[in-house]
């Protein structure tokens, strides 16, 4: 038996160690399954994205028409389009829950795992934003104009960078082609970072609800945790089918059903729902550069959590830490709601107050 094991390829050893023999704490529950579901969603997004890219035309006058062509003329194009569209929103729902679980159970004590996860979030946001521009609808065009123009807030070189991103003096065909190339490449870069994230996790091991070092109470990944993951993936797949056939476009802005028109500005320009919390913080600060800095910090600030050495146990069993966490989660939801409303009283005032509390709670969590 030993001689047979020695003849195995090193890659087989790696797969066996990561997917079969990986020891995990016996006390972890279904709350630890979000990572595997996110991996499944990523595979769906990669497959559907590659097929859609083969029918997409990145020319500015044909982009919107090519999306209509995919929906109407390509075999099962309507299904691939809606799965890819809703998959992005569902990806962010689960990744926010995944981060929330890490914050509540103090998973951020693993510095390398948490830091690589923060990089994944940042790359994912960039990938999703670029993908939102590609259909070249009204909100896609104006969202790209507003968000890319934020780079001009950088002193001295901001305007030069913006013109380089645009390929001219406004969002145009060159912008769309560059965004299409980036949206094609970034998912593969994202996959590479996710592999690093998984390797870091499997080297250090998963934490548990108690937040204790329980090396003496671990069981193999297969078949105890793999079956749990499989059940969750099946449930998610059924949920995805339900969204696809019943509420196909509930996560899409109605304004994006109109082709891009540079001469007609929408009444209320806003990004997709998963960016609304950062968008609300951005517009709550009167200074443009200050708003951009606050937007970036609102996403990257979670990277400081591993350096809070005082939290040695799970925050779930600490009343004050749990109080901070749930209040912070409520602030996140309120900011998302504020970002979907126009910049006027009382939404503007509420947004400024909630933005202040957002940073205070995250620093003290």
Name the catalytic one among 202, 298, 314, 315.
202
Token output for 324: 């901070």
Name the catalytic one among 84, 272, 284, 315.
272
My answer on whether omega of the bond before 267 falls inside 30° of 0, hence cis, is: no
228 labelled catalytic = yes
- Burial grade of 2 (CB within 10 A; 0-12, 13-18, 19 or more): exposed
- Burial grade of 293 (CB within 10 A; 0-12, 13-18, 19 or more): middle
Q: Which residue is it, tokens 């790359």? A: 123
229 labelled catalytic = yes
Alpha helices in the chain (DSSP H): 2-6, 10-19, 34-53, 63-72, 77-104, 111-133, 138-149, 158-166, 173-204, 221-246, 276-284, 288-300, 319-339, 347-364
Compute the distance between CA of residue 136 and CA of residue 145 in angstroms, rounded to an integer.
12
**3-state helix/strand/coil string of 147-197:** HHHHHHHCCCCHHHHHHHHHCCCCCCHHHHHHHHHHHHHHHHHHHHHHHHH
Name the catalytic one among 206, 284, 298, 355.
206
Please enumerate in sequence order all residues whose Cβ is within 8 A of that of 154, keeping only pairs 6 or more positions apart, or say none: 161, 289, 292
Q: Which residue is it, tokens 């029918």? A: 55
Name the catalytic one among 58, 109, 110, 229.
229
272 labelled catalytic = yes
202 labelled catalytic = yes
- Burial grade of 157 (CB within 10 A; 0-12, 13-18, 19 or more): exposed
Compute the distance between CA of residue 353 and CA of residue 285 in angstroms, rounded to an integer.
11
Name the catalytic one among 55, 69, 222, 228.
228
Just list the catalytic residues. 202, 206, 228-229, 272
């Amino acid at each position: 038996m030993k001689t047979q094991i020695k003849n195995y390829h090193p890659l087989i050893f790696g797969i066996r160690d990561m997917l079969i023999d990986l020891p995990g704490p016996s006390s972890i529950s279904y709350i630890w399954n979000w990572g595997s579901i996110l991996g499944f969603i990523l595979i769906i997004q990669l497959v559907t994205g590659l097929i859609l890219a083969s029918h997409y035309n990145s020319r500015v006058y044909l982009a919107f028409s090519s999306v209509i062509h995919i929906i109407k003329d390509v075999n099962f194009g309507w299904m691939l389009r809606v799965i890819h569209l809703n998959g992005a929103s569902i990806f962010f729902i689960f990744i926010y829950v995944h981060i929330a679980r890490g914050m509540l159970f103090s998973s951020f004590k693993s510095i390398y795992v948490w830091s690589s996860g923060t990089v994944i979030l940042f790359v994912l946001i960039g990938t999703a934003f670029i993908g939102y521009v590609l259909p070249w609808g009204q909100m896609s065009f104006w969202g790209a104009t507003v968000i890319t123009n934020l780079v001009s807030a950088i002193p001295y070189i901001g305007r030069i960078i913006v013109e380089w991103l645009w390929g001219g003096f406004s969002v145009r065909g060159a912008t769309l082609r560059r965004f299409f190339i980036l949206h094609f490449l970034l998912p593969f870069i994202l996959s590479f970072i996710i592999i690093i994230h998984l390797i870091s996790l499997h080297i250090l091991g998963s934490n548990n609800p108690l937040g204790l070092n329980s090396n003496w109470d671990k069981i193999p990944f297969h078949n105890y945790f793999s079956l749990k993951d499989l059940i969750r993936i099946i449930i998610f797949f059924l949920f995805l089918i339900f969204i696809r056939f019943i509420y196909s476009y509930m996560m899409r802005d109605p304004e994006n059903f109109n082709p891009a028109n540079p001469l007609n500005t929408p009444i209320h320009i806003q990004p997709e729902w998963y960016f609304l919390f950062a968008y609300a913080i951005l517009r709550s600060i009167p200074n443009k550069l200050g708003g951009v800095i606050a937007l970036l910090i609102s996403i990257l600030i979670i990277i400081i959590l591993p350096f809070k050495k005082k939290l040695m146990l799970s925050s779930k069993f600490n009343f004050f830490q749990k109080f901070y966490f749930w209040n912070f989660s409520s602030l996140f939801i309120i900011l998302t709601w504020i970002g979907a409303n126009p910049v006027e009283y009382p939404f503007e005032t509420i947004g400024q107050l909630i933005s202040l509390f957002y940073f205070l709670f995250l620093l003290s969590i």
